[in-house]
Each structure stands twice: as structure tokens, then as C-alpha cells.
Amino acid sequence: MTERIYNFSAGPAVLPVEVLEQAQRDLLSLPGVGMSVMEISHRSKTFDEILGKADTGVRQLLGVPDNYHVLFLQGGASLQFSMVAMNLLPAGGSADYIVTGSWGKKAVKEAKRCGAVNIAANMADSGFTRIPDPEEINLDSNAAYVHITTNETIEGVEWKEEPEVGKVPLVADASSDILSHPIPVEKYGLIYAGAQKNMGPSGVTMIIIRDDLLPRIPDGLHTMLDYRTHVENHSLYNTPNTWGIYIISLVCDWLKTKGGLKGMHRENLAKAKLLYDAIDATDFYRGHAEPGCRSIMNVTFRLPSEELEKKFATEATAKSLDGLKGHRSVGGIRASIYNAFPHDGVEALVSFMKGFEQKNG
């Protein structure tokens, strides 16, 4: 099979065809280098340029201010659940966590190993269908930081704007919506994101950290787990994921051709609207998240029964609409429509949904 199908996977996820084609062209030999990017030293001038391009690309797209460092590390967003707390939650201190879904819960689990955690809000009782209203959030003005998950990939619930946290640094897991829309980076102390949804392949985690947080890091952390190591060595303390960073540099180029994050956001909103409109047009499909909190990236919905959901996912796969089965922890259907997911793929899904309802409704 050489035809590409519509890949609704939550991650690793669809990459832009133009990026894959460029990588394919340069796979055997990077122009002027005579080797694949996977074969060159991470200490070479060529890789230095690739890393610089990825760094500049992200900085330009997100408008990262100069007092922030951009790091490309490994260990996934899951390792950041630990590193954030190890680095920023001091002995005797406490951190605020606003839990809006399954990933936020996992972040709390790791932070608790390091120190006190104040659950400033927990939306579990609502079935993780929404973001808390400001009056539902109990922040501690002495907290070391406030942690949010900007987009909960499993439940399909996203923050539309940052919570007001005063002077306390805001820390965000932005794994599943990074680079999908503009964000005011200056409102954050630290942002982390696994690359494998909107930025590139799995195996790279991007961290954007404000410079004034570095002096808060306690001495004595393991070298690899200390953000200062990676800041001082520009992500080259050890061997980074050279291939992944190269793809990120190409994705940044591609995003610029889309009109940057503003242009990308417009396209993402149009795709999401098409799908949510189809869900809302009938009682057969039921959206999981409350309308005001719906994710633009991960569209989650239910059918009248689990049997029908299973049938839906199986029949969709047979029609080259793959990866629609909801996460094993919540069930239902999840259509992940990241940056690189094409508009005509959403149209194909909407048409499949109409046909499925006619036959099974």
C-alpha cells in the first residue's frame, strides 16, 4: 500500500506531506553533506545549523521573548511531569495543579513524589468535560507554580485562555496544542510539549523556560534532570534526537508557508467547526466536552452504544479513516485533527458519519 490514508491518531500523528517529501529527498544525503541527518555528528556544523533553525523557527512562530530558553530534550512530556516538580517545587513549598483531564492527573502523581501539591481545581466530578470557571479555582498565592494542561488530549477539553495566576509562574503541558494557535508565551514560566502531535516525530520534548526560574533550581539534582544543564549546553549536553529536531525544523518552515500560527489557527478552527457542527446536527452523536471548552485538536464524541462505537471505528478504518477509537480509558470516538491533518479528511469523516447514522440510527 502506498496511498496515504486519513490518520486521526492522537500521537504520533500525521505530519505534513511536504515535510515527509523533503525528508525523503534528503534521506540518503543532505545537500552538500553527503550523509543522512541520522548519520552526522550532533557536534557537527551541519547539525548546529539544524538545531539553530529549529530554535529560531519555534521562537519566530510563537514569538518567544529573549528571556526564555528553548530546549529540545528526550523522555517525553511524561518525564517533564517529574522534572518540573524536581526543578521548581522547593523543599517545604507547594505547587498548584488545575486538573482538567487524564494527563493533568498523571502530572500530579509525579509532583507528589517531590513535595506538596494543592489541587486548585479538579474537574473529575464533571467527567472532565470542561475547564473550571475562575471562581472554582483555589489558588495559593505562595505556590511555587501553577500547572495546567492546555489541551487534554484524551478528553478533548482545552483552555481558551490562560487562568489569572498573578505573580506565580504558570507552567503548562502543551503537548497536544503547541504550535496550533498563537499563545502569549510571556504569561508562562515554563511550557513543555512532546513533539509527536504538531511538531514532529516522537522522541523530542520541547521546553520553553523563563530565565529567572533557573536560580530557583535546587543543587544536587542528577545532571540530566537539571534544566540548567540543558540551558548551559544548548540541548547538546548529551546526544539529542537529531532526526526529530531536523523534522521540527522542517515543520517550522512548513508552518510559515501556512501564514504562521494565525493562519494555521484559522485552518484548525474551520476543520473543528465542520466536525462539531456534524456532531451537533443530530442526537445520534453526542460531544463529550461542553461547547465552550471543546478542543480544536482532539474531537471526542459518543454514539448511542459501545457496540455502535466499535462498529463505527471498524467500518471507518475499512474506509481509510484510521485511528478514531477513543482512548482505552474513556472509550467513545476521538478524531485528532492536528495541524497537518487535511481539511478533506474531515469532510470525508463527516460524510462517513452521515452514512453511518442513516444505516444505524
Can residue 176 be called a binding residue for ligand PLP (CB under 6 A)?
yes
Q: For the chain, percent helix, then strand, then coil, each to nearest 5?
A: 40, 15, 45
Cα(71)–Cα(214) distance, integer angstroms: 13
Which residues pair with residue 325 across a beta bridge? Answer: 333
Residue type, 58: V
Crossing angle for the helix pair 306-318 and 343-360, to the nearest 10 degrees: 130
Of 9, 87, 100, 149, the residue at the interface with ligand PLP (CB under 6 A) is 149
Q: Please report, as residue ranges, which positions from 6 to 65 form the binding site for ligand PLP (by CB under 6 A).
A: 11
Minimal distance, residue 79 CB to ligand PLP, in Å: 7
Of 16, 57, 189, 194, the residue at the interface with ligand PLP (CB under 6 A) is 194
Minimal distance, residue 319 CB to ligand PLP, in Å: 25
**Range list of H helices, 223-295:** 227-232, 242-257, 260-280
Cα(179)–Cα(297) distance, integer angstroms: 11
Can residue 153 be called a binding residue for ligand PLP (CB under 6 A)?
yes
| Residue 359 appears among annotated catalytic residues | no
Active-site residue (options: 105, 197, 271, 325): 197
Of 23, 42, 53, 76, the residue at the interface with ligand PLP (CB under 6 A) is 76
Can residue 173 be called a binding residue for ligand PLP (CB under 6 A)?
yes
CB contact set of 213 (below 8 Å; sequence gap of 6+): 87, 88, 169, 189, 190, 227
Can residue 198 be called a binding residue for ligand PLP (CB under 6 A)?
no
Residue number of the CB closest to ligand PLP reads 76
| Residue 325 appears among annotated catalytic residues | no
Can residue 175 be called a binding residue for ligand PLP (CB under 6 A)?
yes
Within its chain, how far is the Cα of 263 from the centroid? Answer: 18
Can residue 317 be called a binding residue for ligand PLP (CB under 6 A)?
no
Where do contacts with ligand PLP occur on this chain (CB under 6 A)?
Answer: 11, 76-78, 103, 149, 153, 173, 175-176, 194
Residues annotated as catalytic are 103, 173, 197
